[in-house]
Structure 1
Amino acid sequence: MTTSPLVSTQWLEDNLKTPDVVVVDGSLFLPQMGRDAEAEYLEAHIPGAVRFDIEDISDPKSDLPHTLPEPHLFASKMRKLGIGDGQTIVVYDGIGLWSAPRVWWMFKVMGVKDVHVLNGGMPKWKAEGRPLEDGPVRRPERHFTARLNRGAVTSFDSLRKIIASGDRQIVDARSSERFSGSVPEPRPGMRSGHMPGAKNVPVMDLMRDDGSLKDETTLRAQFSEAGVDISKPVTTTCGSGVTAAALTLALTSLGATDLTLYDGSWSEWGSRQDTEVVAGS
């Protein structure tokens, strides 16, 4: 199996019936997108795909949206989905590289080695006329061992130290307008702008028109133009911790290894009154 974080649509179609290859629909849409991830899954999904609901598989004790659950809860949810140890997991979403990387990242920080994102997701799969099915999918329960790598998850206090020390780069996946503070945040009660010292690489700029990840040369140029040195430590962030993982995936594809993700992201930082917020690019 490839060590790349991505697999192609052709690879997945060739391996749909391979034992222990599990396909996961990890779609999550913003309210303003006007899309229903559950309804779209039931109407059409890749054959055999189970539905990974990021909203449901999150920390029920947190006031922040879809934060990482504790390992025992994650393991319980995966067992009920029929996802377990020793499997090859392939995640996709309905935009391409939007929320699937978040699911990929969740599996990675829970200790799963063999997990990948379908390059291009459902848009590319559909455009190529590949097989689909409808209705729910039930898999037999399977034991899942969760070993949380807490070092890959940046907390609020850790981010404050990062900003104070400057020992890690902060890269924000939100749109340039949200990053600069020229438009209001979609969630009420949040200030507009970004964290001190943060760089901006919008998640939508990572994708081609078909939803797949841009080529290595283009990605390297984009990060460089944003002032990001991929050979140095990076902490990714976004609005609520979802699309930050797309930056993590893109950086991983370029060979970056010292990566963490700020799970609270702007939902936490921008809603507090004791944080510094910078406006402008």
Structure 2
Amino acid sequence: MRDPRALIDTNTLAASLGDPSLRVFDCTTYLEPTPAGSAEPYNAVPGRKTFEDGHVPGADFLDLQGEFSDTDTHLHFMMPSVARLQAAFGRHGIGTGTRPATRVVLYSIGTMMWATRFWWMLRSLGFDDAAVLDGGLDKWKAEGRPLETGAPRGYPPATFAATPREGLFVDAARVKAAIGRRDTVTVNALGPQFHRGLEPSRYGRPGRVPGSVNVPAATLVDPATKGFTTLADAAAKFAAQGISKDKRTICYCGGGISATIDLFLLHQLGHDDITLYDGSMGEWAKTESLPIERD
């Protein structure tokens, strides 16, 4: 594993609770269906209720759509300005340049994709001391570990000074330009039925970015533990789709969330030239000028 500190298990987190430099965050969002005929693919509902019903003791809550996404677009979860992110992370007590260094643990409920999305965002801002809780709150609860209820108490505000990394996000133009290139592989993290265009899509036209391969995020998680699959299993799944370290890899999904599970494991496997198409099918499928492919 390239970066062991980017993944934390429940035992280690439990032993770390009470550390004044630790910042633990529930990142959960729920995607609720919209009425038939709605222009929106889903309603993004922050997981505040489930947070208040039970969370890791001392944890705070991060509202991805409400605080950490671009408000000047109809698309959900798009990366906002660096200034907006610096202010938001600082409000929640994530500081840079502090001694001792701030240690961040991210978790979510039902799926780790909300935690990996925040991990990828922080990485894009140059913050490398964040870890994803393997198995999320599901594993924590299954092990009978303590829970705290009620509203978040939060952490003391801090100063977050970003040192952005270039290239961790790409737009539709870059994805389109990569179609047919032998040095680039584009990876769809959605399920195979949506990749093949066999079922109606809530995002618009069914299908995929032409030429893209399919490594569903769901296949990279152990359904029994809710944790990541082994690195050997992930490596085999990526290799089977022609994904290698000597190629640029663009990952996408429906809204730029589940694809971060693929990106997290690609990073841990030592892939360097990896990026996220932030608009994903939420943008691509509804943009008629962009090509689409289906079986």
| Partner residue of 1:66 out of 77, 88, 112 | 77
Question: Is the 8 Å Cα contact of residues 25 and 59 (structure 2) preserved in structure 1?
Answer: yes
Note closer, same or farther for the CA distance 1:261–1:36 as it changes in structure 2 (3 Å cut). Answer: closer
Q: Does 1:155 align with 2:156?
A: no
1:1-281 superposed matches below 5 A? 3-4=3-4, 5-32=6-33, 37-56=47-66, 57-85=68-96, 86-135=101-150, 136-187=152-203, 190-208=204-222, 209-280=224-295
- Identity over aligned pairs, percent: 30
Task: Give the letter for the 1:261 counterpart.
Answer: L
Note closer, same or farther for the CA distance 1:231–1:211 as it changes in structure 2 (3 Å cut). Answer: farther
Task: Give the letter for the 2:53 counterpart.
Answer: E
Question: Is the 8 Å Cα contact of residues 76 and 255 (structure 2) preserved in structure 1?
Answer: yes
Task: Give the letter for the 1:191 counterpart.
Answer: R
Which deviates more, 264-273 or 78-87? 78-87
Deviation at 1:160, TM superposition (A): 1.5
Task: Give the letter for the 2:243 counterpart.
Answer: V
Task: Give the letter for the 1:273 counterpart.
Answer: E
In 1: Cα distance, 2:246 partner to 2:234 partner? 14
Note closer, same or farther for the CA distance 1:230–1:129 as it changes in structure 2 (3 Å cut). Answer: farther
Alignment deviations for residues 150-195 of structure 1 (CA, whole Å, 9 cap, x no partner): 31111111111111534321111111111111111124xx100001
Which deviates more, 144-153 or 62-71? 144-153
The ranges of structure 1 where at least 4 consecutive aligned residues each deviate by more than 4 angstroms after the TM superposition are 32-36
Instruction: Return 5+ residue gaps in structure 2 as ranges.
Output: 34-41
Task: Give the letter for the 1:183 counterpart.
Answer: E
Task: Give the letter for the 1:185 counterpart.
Answer: S
In 1: Cα distance, 2:237 partner to 2:131 partner? 23
Q: How many correspondences in the alignment?
A: 277
In 2: Cα distance, 1:167 partner to 1:158 partner? 14
In 1: Cα distance, 2:138 partner to 2:241 partner? 28
Instruction: Return 5+ residue gaps in structure 1 as ranges.
Output: none
Q: Normalization by structure 1: what TM-score?
A: 0.93
Question: Is the 8 Å Cα contact of residues 26 and 52 (structure 1) preserved in structure 2?
Answer: yes
Deviation at 1:31, TM superposition (A): 1.5
In 2: Cα distance, 1:149 partner to 1:198 partner? 25
Q: Normalization by structure 2: what TM-score?
A: 0.89
